Structure 1
Amino acid sequence: MDINLPMPAVSASVSCMDLGHFYNHIKKVEESSAAFFHYDVVDGKFNKCYILGDMLCEYLHNNTKLPVEVHLAVYDIDNYIDVFAGKGVDYIAVHYEAMEKPAIIFNKIKKLGMQPVLAYRADTPPQEDFVELARQCAWILKLTVNPGFSGQTIKPTAVEHIKMMKKMLDDNNVDKRIQADGNVNPATTKMLAEAGASIFTGGTSGLFVQNYSIEENIKKLLQPTKDFF
């Protein structure tokens, strides 16, 4: 599914949703202006935790009209791509740190009917091949914290990496957007937008803040970024 993302855009982090009332929470996200679902998969090796599996992803796909981005924070990428391709997802984010031959991985994702997203850990700066790899993907996912644990604060070096990425893209006339994922809340979105991010993955500290609707939280997230878009 090709989607026209709004500028700026907010995605909903599934791992931060109320999984005990998953269907109802899916519908609450759909009633908001969230652009897509962000579905984290962590294998216990890429980071020392395990998050979300394939069966829940299939349930999500079967119960939403919104696109689904699966974020593979894993090392054995090939097997995970095969599994999640059968779950009806739209985007697969794969990590630079886990790919020996990115072009082969990207082509596999495309042949299976999805679009690749190029992902980087919080502590990984863009390398010399960044622009060429970015050209082959839907957008770039930059982690601003380590994957899998909520409640972390943004790593300043990750913000600097976003600035570097944005400059490299602009200098080479590559029209690809940057997604910031981790500790995205009203206190950080201005800094992230100023650095060059225009897609914001909302979780416990920003999108699912209790006592407010999801749409109210989206407005609070994006209000600090209004001077950049």
Structure 2
Amino acid sequence: MKRAAEKELMVSASVSCMDLCHLADAVEEAEEAGISFFHYDMVDGRFNDCFILSETLLKQMRGITSLPIEAHLAAYEPERYIGMYADAGADYIAVHYEAMKEPLRVLEQIRKAGVQPVLAYKSTTPPGENFITLAGEAAWILKLTVDPGFSGQKMQEGALGHIRQMRTMLNDTGLKTKIQADGNINQDTIPRAVKAGADILTGGTSGLFLKGKTVKQCCEDMLKAAEEAKGVKNYGINE
């Protein structure tokens, strides 16, 4: 199992936004850009109205990258898929709070599969009363800032409010758990996401894979925007 290198601010690359017809070249370019890990979306057609990225492609990708891969299971009954994606080569598996009846048991199932668990929340889901208990069992929190599965959406302001809540709750209990913001993450939206409390940024079509710029240039621009925003950040304070 590969671990993402611990950094104050991190960028992950959304695989569903990469050139899947030239995957090896796209992976190499993303690796050279300085990303921390790959974010691999799976949507089951029920959690949202689309199907994307099976374990078959992840297995092929595992053979051509040395970076960690986070499999984001936007799926109901995630227990059915954990072993499948772990065997395919995932290093982290994100499962949704909304899709689990017994989240602690599911997070333990992920660990038993030899993978690090990540706790995911939809853009519309606030942290519940058990947030801190679950956050303590996760490698980090994945907070969607758009609906899963479709690119080109605008960041939802309500999701930023949830990130603020999460960061305040984590700070109040002394947990250092990182928060990953996923959806419409770019130079314009990064300051708001980082000031809300995010420190992992998932780049896609609006931020990391822009026409006319290399992935390296985009990654550097994303990190610069995040660093500038964090320089004036006071976590837990609503703006």
Q: TM-score, normalized by length of structure 2?
A: 0.94
Gaps of 5+ in 2: 232-239
Aligned pairs, how many? 229
Alignment of 1:26-45 (within 5 A): 26-45=27-46
Q: Displacement of 1:78 after TM fit?
A: 1.2
Q: Displacement of 1:82 after TM fit?
A: 1.6
Q: Displacement of 1:89 after TM fit?
A: 1.1
Quote the Cα distance in structure 2 between the aligned partners of 1:6 and 1:194.
Answer: 17
Partner AA of 2:204 in structure 1 = G
What secondary structure, in the 3-state scheme, does the structure 2 residue paired with 1:219 have? helix
1:143 corresponds to which residue?
144
* Residue 102 (structure 1) aligned with residue 115 (structure 2): no
Q: Displacement of 1:144 after TM fit?
A: 0.1
2:181 corresponds to which residue?
180
Alignment of 1:137-216 (within 5 A): 137-216=138-217
What secondary structure, in the 3-state scheme, does the structure 2 residue paired with 1:226 have? helix
Q: Displacement of 1:225 after TM fit?
A: 2.0
What secondary structure, in the 3-state scheme, does the structure 2 residue paired with 1:153 have? coil
Q: What do residues 37-87 of structure 1 show as CA deviations (whole Å, max 9, x unaligned)?
A: 000000010001111111100011111000000000000211110211111
Q: Displacement of 1:36 after TM fit?
A: 0.3
Alignment of 1:19-168 (within 5 A): 19-168=20-169
What secondary structure, in the 3-state scheme, does the structure 2 residue paired with 1:86 have? helix
What secondary structure, in the 3-state scheme, does the structure 2 residue paired with 1:10 have? strand
Q: Displacement of 1:5 after TM fit?
A: 2.8
Quote the Cα distance in structure 2 between the aligned partners of 1:110 and 1:6.
Answer: 23
2:237 corresponds to which residue?
none
Quote the Cα distance in structure 2 between the aligned partners of 1:180 and 1:225.
Answer: 12
Q: TM-score, normalized by length of structure 1?
A: 0.98
Q: Displacement of 1:6 after TM fit?
A: 2.0
Q: Displacement of 1:214 after TM fit?
A: 0.8
Structure 1 runs, 4 residues or longer, greater than 3 Å off: none
RMSD over aligned Cα atoms: 0.9
Q: What do residues 167-216 of structure 1 show as CA deviations (whole Å, max 9, x unaligned)?
A: 00000001100000000000000000000000000000000001111110
Partner AA of 2:49 in structure 1 = K
Do 2:4 and 2:67's aligned partners in 1 also have CA atoms closer than 8 Å?
A: no
Gaps of 5+ in 1: none
Partner AA of 2:169 in structure 1 = M
2:18 corresponds to which residue?
17
Do 2:77 and 2:100's aligned partners in 1 also have CA atoms closer than 8 Å?
A: no
Q: Displacement of 1:95 after TM fit?
A: 0.2
Q: What do residues 132-191 of structure 1 show as CA deviations (whole Å, max 9, x unaligned)?
A: 100000000000000001000011000000000000000000110000000000000000
Q: What do residues 80-122 of structure 1 show as CA deviations (whole Å, max 9, x unaligned)?
A: 1021111121000000000110111011100110000000000
What secondary structure, in the 3-state scheme, does the structure 2 residue paired with 1:42 have? strand
